[in-house]
């Protein structure tokens, strides 16, 4: 029975051949792509593993300033570790190409010859495969380096340059301008000492641990290694060394001075202790004398008070004297006036006396003797009177004179007493001031006494402190002495680190040049598996929709078979057979194309081989690929269809016989105001919701594929665009041996290589300390501290950082971690850089104030190449910027076309099936008299809204999903931080393509709608 | 026809719907059918005849009563056992044949041949049913009568104990109907297959042993023909 039903399935397959072929082609295409990617990935991964083993790929590598001495090498190799020198130097070829020249390897990282042979003579060489391909260098060609010519005898690849990048921080391979050349040891030496290398020789060693120790243990040994500077011939290194040793001497001198200073400090402290001790003794005496002082001052104050009172009494007395003198003076003056009047009266009286005497004398002379006698009687008294009067006048005159003298004396007395009085006021004021002063002095003395007490206490403490200080200073001096000894050792040690012979230590898993092809294809592998299964599920589901349609059509037949005892499982298997067959056959064809044709795995391998340096690989078909290509599709189809068909066949035989269908939600659906045709269209959409969802699912899947392609397209283009636009310098010089002076016209910077892991990959993040006036990076003002940094948008995007976040980086050796706060993010996507002010950077990393190791310039500078690690020009960057676009172009186109095809086919089949399912109804509607345009609107145009709404939901959904997946899984190994943001135009184009494809299908199916005639009703009835 | 009761229906009630749409289709129907008997269940449209057939065939559930076929209580069977019951005991013939469209006549019959542990001989059956020349044709290449013959062959090939025929001639013209009835008559005679034939055709009752009339879900008549008219002589088909 099973076979019979299987026949039915085969015939069904035959009947719907066009539909199944269309689906099959898509499945074949999907399986072909997926298994090709998987096959290529497995081939590369397995080859890498085998090659690593056969070619003795290094476990890691390290570089040193000077080659390891024999005893150092012996110390390592005696412990079981294999070490081989991988010295190299870079040489300019033609105008813009560089060949890195190595000696032929013997034990580690051996050359895998693809063609030809290893060099046997000093003029022979093996050239790296990618360089030879890109530059068309063949066996027998000559490569000229300086004056030396090498005949290419072989083409090969080495495991330590799987990705042939010049610097570890390079993000893209540019085999056009950089490659490897392997020559004999003698030829290598001759070439290097011919002096035509671009830079000094690099002393790299590769090691194999052989289980003898761990990487870290080896690193510890190497870190302890010393080197003899006399072994270094490089003049630039010597200059650098001398500068470093000068600094060491300066430091040692400084420490000696510190030691002397500490001794002096100890001596001084002891002297200080003695001085303070004396001071304290003085303070003690002072302290003791203060009570006497206060008593004396009190007595003085009391005396001053008494003096003030005495002066007050004295001045009062003087005042009284002055008043008396004043009165006396007035009296004397009055007396003088009186005496003067008396004198005047006396004078008048004297005149009268005189006149009387004269008259008497005259009368005495009179003839009249009487008169004469009388007169003679008067003559004696008159004369006596005159004489008396003369005596009176003399007395009055004397009194008058005395009164005048008294007046003058009284006046002088008054004047003197007045002066005394006024002076006594000053005396009183002075006595008062004296008293005030003594009072204040008394109060001050109290305070002074308190102060002296405190001072005394303080001096006691100072004395104790001085004792301790002296003891401490002595201990300090002793400590500085010890520090000096330790510092000398430390400086030796520190200088050993700074100029440590070990420059770089890199485990193979951290080396971006090693096994990166395998890492890269691992992403393809994972993506293929996921997308492959999703696509197969989509197609299986599409098929299941047809199966369900068929079950609906054959419902009564199934019911009849059930009635007669046929089991659901048997029927389910028969219906599942078609999708299983289709997917299986498609899987077989897809797998065969992938495995057997050049368009399959070899084509995918070509992409890998076109970028990574590996030998031509033999396609490897592993069981996993066969399982994926041959088993997964039918199994997926089986599972999907069993789930769908079983559900459909769960109905009872009677329900199947009657072709009963569950009520579709929305049958009772009514929207007021909608016209009949609009309502019909809405119901039709709801009725066909399964097919509609399948179309949207198809749209979702195809858009995921499309967005993967578009993200890649946008990403690659942005890499190209940003690298060109945002690189503003013309030259960047990285110093190996920095000079003291910045070259004229250059902008110095300090670059420190740090690292940060994300999504399983560790990338170099360069800390760039730049000057504020550096014109090549628009960082804005740089923070004036060493905890904040400015991020390039590349770093911000790569590590999902925002302003204010803490960003932790580790040094190249993984020994130290540095945490910074994001201060600002500026638009710079060309490489993973973070920025700090150059001085802060120097301080932070313990460099000298004038240290720099990078110089940016807008023109070429005259710098000796021997000083440099590398020179990067803007032209180099522009050249390599387009590599991603070139590399991914085919993939982008393929995926875009595949995406459109998936959507086109799924949408076509689903909408066509909707029409087929409704053929009876359409026929009936036509019988009723509806016009073609109305029929189209009812049955076809509703899909437009479904596609429209679906695209509005699915486009942002797919973009979000892809934006989540893309950085984590698809470009997680690329050291570029760019958000593949689409412009509005791209969204509009996507939308237009979806609508365009829909309209195309609508146009095609309109014809099919026309072909449904009223006869269908009759035919179906029959 | 033997004396052994092969099929018993007792007090069978069956209703559909709820509330306003509630319909009592079968109202305490009791029937007995003997082994090898040809029984016609006749009635007007909606009388419950197909429902009775479906209940006997285990295609529909019953509300109450019981159905016993060859000692098996049908209402007690569920899932796989119900399927086994149908596979081991029943053959169905439908009005619209229900053939698998993309299998040939022979293949359609083969589908059911495999269901039986003791199937009838395929070629003989094809020959008996006159399908030899059509055995490699698809249903769409056959006439209605031929398709129904194919459906009969498919039902018979697994040698069922009872053949349930739901309007086997409902979609056929008079002549073809007669041919089919002749064929059923012949099979009954040759293979002794018990047959329940649901029909609204009034003539068919004359060719069978047992006639049951259903009216509004109840048996209005239940009798045995004393004299049967051969199918080839039936009129007004």
| pLDDT at site A497 | 43
Distances from the Cα of A796 to the Cα of A314, A512, A820, A981, B112, angstroms: 98, 21, 13, 15, 70
What is the residue-averaged pLDDT of chain A? 84
* 3-class state of residue A257 by DSSP: helix
> Can you tell me the distance from the alpha carbon of A955 to that of A725, in angstroms, rounded to the nearest whole number?
30
Determine the Cα–Cα distance for residues A389 and A82; give it in Å rounded to an integer: 163
Residue A374: its pLDDT value, please? 73
Residue A61's pLDDT is what? 95
Contact A348, A339 (CB under 8 A): no
Instruction: Tell which phi-psi region holds residue A751, choosing left (phi > 0), alpha (psi between -120 and 50) or beta.
Output: beta
Query: A21-25, A184-188, A331-335, A659-663: lowest mean pLDDT where?
Result: A659-663
Going by pLDDT thresholds of 50, 70 and 90, the confidence category of residue A666 is very low
Class of domain A731-859: mainly beta
Which residues in chain A have Cβ-Cβ distances shorter than 8 Å to B60? 652, 654
ipTM: 0.84
**Hey, which residues does A116 pair with through a beta bridge?**
A154
| pLDDT higher than 70, residue A500 | no
From the centroid of its chain, how far is CA A935? 63
Q: How far apart are CA A752 and CA A789, in angstroms?
A: 13
Residue A662 confidence (pLDDT):
58
In the structure, what pLDDT confidence band is assigned to residue B33 with cuts at 50, 70 and 90? very high
For residue A660, pLDDT beyond 50:
yes
Q: Which residues contact A403 (CB under 8 A, 6 or more apart)?
A: A332, A335, A336, A338, A339, A340
Q: What is the pLDDT of residue A84?
A: 95
For the ranges A460-474, A573-587, A982-996, which has the lowest average pLDDT?
A460-474
- A650 contacts on B by Cβ (under 8 Å): none
Least reliable range by pLDDT among A53-57, A138-142, A922-926: A922-926
**pLDDT, position A499:** 56
Q: DSSP letter at A199? A: S
Residue of chain A minimizing CA distance to B90: A564
Q: How far apart (Å, rounded) are the C-alpha atoms in residues A963 and B16?
A: 56
* Mutation choice for A interface testing from B17, B53, B58, B59 by most A CBs within 10 A: B59
Helices and strands (H and E) in chain B: how many: 6, 10
- pLDDT in the model for residue B38: 92
User: Between the CA of residue B129 and those of A883, B117, B133, B136, B146, what are the distances in Å?
Assistant: 77, 21, 11, 14, 9
Q: Give pLDDT tens digits for A120-159.
A: 999 999 999 999 999 999 999 999 998 899 999 999 999 9
Q: Per-residue pLDDT averaged across A585-590, rounded? A: 93
Predicted confidence at residue A795, as pLDDT, reads 93
| Cβ–Cβ below 8 Å for B112 and A556 | no
B184 or B171, greater pLDDT: B184
Assign residue A933 a region (left: φ > 0; alpha: ψ between -120 and 50; beta: otherwise): alpha
Q: What is the largest CA-CA distance in chain B?
A: 54
Q: What is the model's pLDDT at position B177?
A: 86
Question: What is the domain partition of chain B in residue ranges?
Answer: 5-233
Task: Measure the CA–CA gap between A226 and B127, rounded to whole angstroms.
Answer: 105
Q: Which residues of B touch A577 (CB under 8 A)?
A: none
Q: Where are the alpha helices (DSSP H) in chain B?
A: 49-56, 79-89, 105-113, 122-128, 144-156, 174-191
pLDDT of residue A494: 57
Of residues A502 and A367, more confidently modeled: A502
Q: For residue A406, what pLDDT is reported?
A: 79
Predicted confidence (pLDDT) per residue in A368-416, tens digit? 777 777 777 776 777 777 777 777 777 777 777 777 787 787 788 888 7
Q: How far apart are CA A580 and CA A712, in angstroms?
A: 34
User: Per this entry, what is the length of chain B?
Assistant: 237
Residues A130 and A157: their CA atoms lie apart, in Å, by 8
Phi-psi region of B28 (alpha: psi -120 to 50; beta: other; left: phi over 0): left
Give burial (CB, 10 Å; 0-12/13-18/19+) of A961: middle
Contact check, Cβ <8 Å, B101/A565: no
pLDDT score for A130: 93
First and final CA of chain B: distance in angstroms?
Answer: 25
Q: What is the DSSP letter of B130?
A: T
Using CB atoms, pick whichever of A5, A11, A560 lies closest to residue B92: A560
Contacts of A449 by beta carbon, 8 Å cutoff, 6+ apart: A290, A291, A293, A294
Centre a 10 Å sphere on the Cβ of residue A977 and count the other Cβ atoms it contains. 25
pLDDT at A619 over 80: yes
DSSP string, B188-218: HHHH--EEEEEE--SSGGGGSSEEEEEETTE
What's A166's DSSP letter? S
Is residue B227's pLDDT more than 80? Answer: yes
Better-scored residue on pLDDT, B167 or A972: B167
- For residue A468, pLDDT beyond 80: yes
- The pLDDT score that the predictor gives to residue A661 is 64
- Label residue B13 exposed, middle or buried (CB < 10 Å: 0-12, 13-18, 19+): middle
Tell me the C-alpha distance between A828 and A808, whole Å.
Answer: 20
**pLDDT over 90 at B45, yes or no:** no
Q: Choosing among A7, A10, A559, A564, which should be mutated to test the B contact, i.e. which has the most B CBs within 10 A?
A: A564
- State how far residue B163 is from chain A, nearest Cα, in angstroms: 10
From 3.40.50.300, 3.40.50.2300, 1.10.3720.10, 2.40.37.10, which CATH number describes the B5-233 domain?
3.40.50.300
Task: Decide if A117 contacts A154 (C-beta within 8 A).
Answer: yes
Stretch 649-678 of chain A: residues touching chain B, C-beta under 8 Å: 652-654, 657
Q: How far is CA A863 from CA A145, A741, A869, in A?
A: 21, 11, 12
Spell out the SS3 assignment of A619-677.
CCCCHHHHHHHHHHHHHHHHHHHHHHHHHHCCCCHHHHHCCCCCCCCCCCCCCCCCCHH
Question: What confidence tier does A668 reach under pLDDT thresholds 50, 70, 90?
Answer: low
A929-967: pLDDT as tens digits: 788 888 888 888 888 888 999 999 999 999 999 999 888
pLDDT score at A729: 93
Q: Is B236 left (phi over 0), alpha (psi -120 to 50) or beta?
A: left
Segment (H or E) for A54: helix A17-54
| pLDDT digit string, tens, across residues B118-138 | 888 889 889 888 889 999 999
3-state secondary structure of A913: helix
Q: What's the whole-model pTM score?
A: 0.66
- pLDDT, tens digit (0-9, with 9 covering 90-100), for A524-572: 787 777 777 777 778 777 878 878 888 888 888 888 888 888 888 888 8
A999 at B interface, C-beta within 8 A: no
Say if residues A9 and A641 touch (Cβ distance below 8 Å): no
For residue A498, pLDDT over 50 is answered with: no
Of A720, A716, A611, A617, the residue nearest A134 (C-alpha): A611
Show residues of chain B in contact with A657, CB under 8 Å.
59, 94, 98
Give the best residue of B55, B78, B92, B158 to mutate against chain A (max A CB count within 10 A): B92
The confidence score (pLDDT) of residue A396 equals: 74
Q: Tell me the angle at which helices A942-965 and A676-687 cross, rounded to the nearest 10 degrees.
A: 40
Structure confidence by residue, pLDDT tens digits, A203-248: 999 999 999 999 988 988 888 777 766 666 667 777 777 777 776 7
Pair A978, A829: CB distance under 8 Å: yes
Q: Does B166 touch chain A (CB under 8 A)?
A: no
Q: Are strands B72-73 and B64-69 parallel, antiparallel or unpaired?
A: antiparallel
| Model pLDDT for residues A294-305, shown as the tens digit of each residue | 888 888 888 888
pLDDT at A228: 67
pLDDT band at A1022 (very low <50, low <70, confident <90, very high): very low
CB A448 within 8 A of CB A230: no
Residue of A49 and A349 predicted with greater confidence: A49
pLDDT of the residue at A344: 79
Question: What residue ranges do the domains of chain A occupy?
Answer: 1-36+516-662, 58-87+203-227+501-514, 88-201, 238-498, 665-726+874-1022, 731-859
């Amino acid at each position: 029975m099973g076979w019979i039903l299987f026949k039915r399935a085969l015939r069904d397959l035959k009947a719907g051949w066009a539909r199944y072929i269309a689906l099959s082609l898509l499945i074949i295409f999907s399986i072909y792509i997926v298994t090709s990617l998987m096959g290529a990935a497995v081939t590369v991964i397995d080859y890498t593993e085998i090659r690593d083993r056969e070619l003795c790929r290094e476990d890691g590598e390290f570089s040193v300033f000077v080659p390891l001495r024999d005893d150092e090498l012996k110390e390592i190799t005696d412990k079981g570790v294999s070490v081989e020198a991988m010295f190299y130097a870079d040489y300019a070829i033609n105008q813009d190409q560089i060949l890195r020249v190595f000696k032929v390897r013997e034990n580690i990282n051996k050359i895998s010859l693809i063609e030809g042979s290893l060099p046997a003579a000093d003029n022979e060489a093996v050239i790296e495969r990618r360089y030879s391909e890109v530059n068309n260098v063949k066996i027998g060609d000559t490569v000229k380096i300086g004056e030396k010519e090498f005949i290419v005898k072989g083409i090969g690849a080495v495991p330590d340059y799987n990705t042939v990048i010049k610097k570890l921080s390079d993000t893209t391979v540019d085999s056009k301008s950089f490659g490897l050349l392997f020559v004999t040891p003698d030829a290598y030496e001759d070439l290097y000492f011919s002096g035509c290398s671009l830079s000094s020789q690099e002393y790299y060693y590769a090691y194999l641990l052989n289980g003898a120790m761990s990487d870290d243990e080896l690193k510890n040994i190497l870190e302890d290694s010393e080197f003899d500077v006399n072994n270094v011939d490089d003049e630039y290194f010597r200059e650098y060394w001398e500068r470093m040793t000068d600094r060491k001497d300066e430091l040692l001198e400084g420490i000696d001075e510190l030691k002397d200073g500490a001794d002096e400090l100890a001596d001084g402290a002891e002297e200080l202790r003695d001085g303070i001790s004396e001071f304290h003794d003085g303070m003690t005496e002072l302290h003791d004398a203060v009570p006497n002082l206060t008593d004396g001052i009190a007595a003085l104050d009391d005396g001053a008070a008494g003096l003030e009172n005495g002066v007050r009494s004295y001045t009062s007395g003087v005042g009284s004297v002055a008043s008396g003198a004043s009165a006396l003076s007035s009296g004397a003056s009055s007396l003088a006036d009186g005496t003067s009047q008396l004198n005047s009266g006396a004078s008048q009286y004297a005149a009268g006396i005189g006149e009387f005497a004269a008259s008497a004398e005259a009368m005495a002379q009179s003839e009249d003797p009487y008169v004469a006698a009388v007169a003679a009687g008067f003559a004696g008294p008159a004369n006596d009177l005159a004489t008396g009067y003369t005596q009176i006048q003399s007395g009055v005159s004397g009194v008058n004179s005395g009164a005048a003298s008294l007046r003058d004396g009284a006046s002088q007395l008054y004047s003197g007493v007045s002066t005394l009085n006024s002076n006594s006021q000053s005396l009183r004021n002075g006595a008062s001031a004296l008293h005030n002063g003594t009072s204040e002095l008394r109060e001050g003395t109290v305070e002074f006494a308190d102060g002296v007490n405190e001072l005394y206490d303080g001096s006691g403490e100072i004395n104790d402190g001085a004792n301790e200080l002296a003891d401490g200073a002595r201990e300090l001096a002793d400590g500085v002495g010890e520090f000096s000894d330790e510092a000398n050792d430390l400086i030796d040690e520190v200088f050993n680190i700074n100029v440590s012979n070990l420059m770089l230590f890199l485990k193979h898993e951290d080396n971006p040049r090693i096994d990166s092809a395998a890492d890269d294809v691992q992403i393809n592998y994972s993506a293929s598996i996921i997308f492959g299964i999703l696509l197969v599920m989509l197609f299986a589901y599409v098929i299941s929709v047809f199966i369900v349609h068929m079950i609906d059509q054959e419902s009564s037949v199934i019911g009849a078979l059930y009635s007669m005892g046929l089991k659901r499982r048997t029927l389910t298997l028969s219906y599942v057979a078609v999708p299983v067959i289709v997917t299986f056959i498609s899987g077989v064809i897809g797998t065969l194309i992938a495995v057997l044709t050049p368009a399959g795995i070899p084509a995918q391998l070509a992409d890998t081989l076109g970028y990574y340096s590996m030998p031509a690989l033999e396609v490897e078909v592993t069981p996993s690929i066969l399982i994926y290509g041959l088993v997964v599709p039918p199994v997926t189809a089986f599972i999907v269809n069993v789930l769908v068909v079983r559900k459909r066949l769960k109905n009872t035989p009677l329900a199947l016989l009657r072709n009963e269908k569950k009520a579709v939600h929305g049958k009772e659906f009514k929207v007021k105001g909608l016209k009949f045709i609009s309502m019909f269209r809405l119901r039709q959409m709801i009725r066909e919701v399964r097919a509609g969802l399948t179309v949207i699912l198809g749209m979702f899947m195809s858009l995921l594929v499309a967005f993967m392609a578009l993200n890649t397209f946008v990403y690659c283009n942005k890499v190209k665009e940003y690298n060109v636009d945002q690189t503003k310098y013309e030259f960047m010089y990285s110093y190996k041996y920095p000079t003291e002076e910045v070259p004229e016209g250059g902008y110095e910077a300090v670059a420190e290589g740090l690292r940060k892991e994300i999504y399983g990959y560790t990338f170099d993040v360069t800390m760039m300390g730049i000057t504020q006036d550096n014109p090549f990076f628009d960082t804005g003002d740089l923070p004036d501290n060493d905890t904040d940094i400015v991020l390039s948008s590349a770093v911000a995007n790569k590590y999902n950082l925002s302003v204010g976040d803490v960003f932790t980086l580790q040094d190249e050796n993984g020994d130290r971690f540095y945490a910074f706060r994001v201060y600002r993010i500026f638009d710079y996507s060309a490489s993973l850089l973070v920025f700090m002010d150059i001085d802060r950077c120097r301080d932070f990393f313990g460099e000298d104030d004038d240290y720099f190791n990078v110089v940016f310039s807008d023109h070429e500078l005259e710098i000796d190449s021997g000083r440099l690690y590398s020179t990067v020009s803007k032209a180099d960057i522009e050249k390599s910027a387009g590599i991603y676009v070139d590399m991914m172009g085919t993939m982008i186109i393929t995926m875009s076309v595949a995406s459109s095809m998936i959507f086109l086919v799924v949408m076509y089949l689903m909408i066509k099936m909707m029409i087929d399912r409704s053929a009876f109804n359409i026929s009936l509607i036509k019988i009723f008299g509806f016009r073609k345009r109305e029929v189209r609107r009812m049955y076809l145009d509703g899909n437009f809204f479904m596609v429209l709404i679906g695209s509005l939901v699915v486009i942002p959904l797919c973009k979000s999903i892809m934006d989540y997946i893309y950085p984590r899984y698809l470009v997680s190994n690329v050291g570029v931080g760019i958000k593949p943001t689409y412009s509005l135009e791209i969204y509009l184009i996507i939308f237009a393509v979806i609508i365009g494809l829909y309209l195309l299908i609508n146009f095609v199916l309109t014809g099919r709608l026309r072909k449904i005639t009223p006869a269908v009703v009759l035919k179906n009835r029959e | 026809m033997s004396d052994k009761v092969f099929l018993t229906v007792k007090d069978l009630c069956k209703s559909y719907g709820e509330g306003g749409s509630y319909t009592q289709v079968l109202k305490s129907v009791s029937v007995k059918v003997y082994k090898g008997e040809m029984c016609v269940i006749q009635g007007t449209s909606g009388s419950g005849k197909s429902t009775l057939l479906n209940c006997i065939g285990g295609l529909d559930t019953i509300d109450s009563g019981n159905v016993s076929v060859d000692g098996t209580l049908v209402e007690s069977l569920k899932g796989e056992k119900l399927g086994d019951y149908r596979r081991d005991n029943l053959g169905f013939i439908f009005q619209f044949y229900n053939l698998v469209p993309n299998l040939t006549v022979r293949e359609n019959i083969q589908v059911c041949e495999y269901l039986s542990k003791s199937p009838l001989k395929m070629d003989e059956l094809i020959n008996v049913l006159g399908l030899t020349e059509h055995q490699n044709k698809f249903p769409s290449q056959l006439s209605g009568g031929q398709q129904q013959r194919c459906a009969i062959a498919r039902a018979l090939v697994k040698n069922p104990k009872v053949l349930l025929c739901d309007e086997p001639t409902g979609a056929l013209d008079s002549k073809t109907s007669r041919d089919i009835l002749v064929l059923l008559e012949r099979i009954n005679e040759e293979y002794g297959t018990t047959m329940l034939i649901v029909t609204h055709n009034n003539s068919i009752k004359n060719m069978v042993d047992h006639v049951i009339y259903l009216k509004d879900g109840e048996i209005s008549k239940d009798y045995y023909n004393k004299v049967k008219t051969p199918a080839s002589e039936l009129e007004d088909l």
